[in-house]
Amino acid sequence: MSGATPPRPGSAGTPLIEARGVGRSYGSIVALHDVSARVLAGEVLCVLGDNGAGKSTLISILSGAQPHGSGEFLVDGQPTRLSSPREARDHGIATVYQDLAVVPLMSVWRNFFLGSELTVGHGPLRRLDVARMRSVASAELARMGIQLRDLEQPIGTLSGGERQSVAIARAVYFGARVVILDEPTAALGVKQAGIVLRDIARARDRGLGVVFVTHNPHHAYPVGDTFLLLGRGEMLGTYARGEITVEELTRLMAGGSELDDLTRELGRHPS
């Protein structure tokens, strides 16, 4: 399978994917309630929230891991009910999880094509097209601005940021129009997080829609176009970049008025 050409950047037009008032319950437990979001070509939607905010449930719906229980989910403006991640990929929706599905001892190029290897020949003479896979992996990584020392090295020897970069480039090559990134910078240092943020910006500039799920507003703000805040399974607000500052994002993430009350309480009882 060859890499698909992504749409041109631009916020005009039909969202690539859109959730309208979606929800999901597990018995009597409401994990997500009445959440709406839209992902446009050439834009980054940042989904922010603390643990238990509903981020994982929203990812599972957008990625096809489980269907929404209420509301409406649309792909290219058409109501859709995804039944599996494979069906989501068929719609051009790829999800890169924090615990990347890689084989650490295999080379970078083998992991790039893992599960979708290119072959030559037929029948008993069929074999891996090693030369082509090496060439394609090198070219696609270069297109994303990713420079690695040696594609033969085991992917487990790469830094966390570099492994995330390979996963993003792989998703783009295999035709993703929407890339969902689940906490890609959570376990990374400042420099490695910067590598991932750069790759997010490059994917956006190539016309992809990016969903960047994070609990860190300082990572979200440099690349985000729209910010969706979740708390206890519900929307706390949706803000365009020009409508909110990183300080306001941080305050809302920290609890807003609840944090102010705690600060006053601690101030009355100094240690």
For residue 85, being part of any structural domain is answered with yes
Q: Which residue bears the tokens 């910010």?
A: 227
For residue 258, being part of any structural domain is answered with yes
Q: For residue 261, what is the domain's CATH number?
A: 3.40.50.300
Lowest mean pLDDT among 115-119, 144-148, 157-161: 144-148
For residue 216, being part of any structural domain is answered with yes
Give the pLDDT score at 257.
57
Give the pLDDT score at 219.
95
Asked if residue 1 has pLDDT above 80, the reply is: no
Judged by DSSP in three states, 18 sits in: strand
Give the pLDDT score at 102.
86
How many domains does the chain divide into?
1
What average pLDDT does this structure show over 133-141? 95
- List Cβ<8 Å contacts ≥24 apart for 149-152: 150/108, 151/107, 151/108, 151/109, 152/107, 152/108, 152/109
Asked if residue 2 has pLDDT above 50, the reply is: no
For residue 170, being part of any structural domain is answered with no
What average pLDDT does this structure show over 150-173? 93
Domain holding 182, by residue range, is 17-103+177-268
What average pLDDT does this structure show over 68-77? 95
Give the pLDDT score at 9.
41
> What are 94-113's pLDDT values in tens digits?
999 877 778 999 999 999 99
Give the pLDDT score at 8.
40
For residue 252, being part of any structural domain is answered with yes
Asked if residue 187 has pLDDT above 60, the reply is: yes
Alpha helices of 108-185 — where are they, by DSSP H? Answer: 108-112, 130-143, 160-173
Helix axes 190-205, 160-173, angle to 10 degrees: 10
Q: Which residue bears the tokens 């102010």?
A: 260
For residue 109, being part of any structural domain is answered with no
For residue 27, being part of any structural domain is answered with yes
Nearest to 185 by CA among 174, 170, 195: 195
Say if strands 70-75 and 119-120 run parallel, antiparallel, or are unpaired.
unpaired
> What are 220-263's pLDDT values in tens digits?
999 999 999 999 999 999 999 999 999 999 888 876 655 566 55
For residue 181, being part of any structural domain is answered with yes
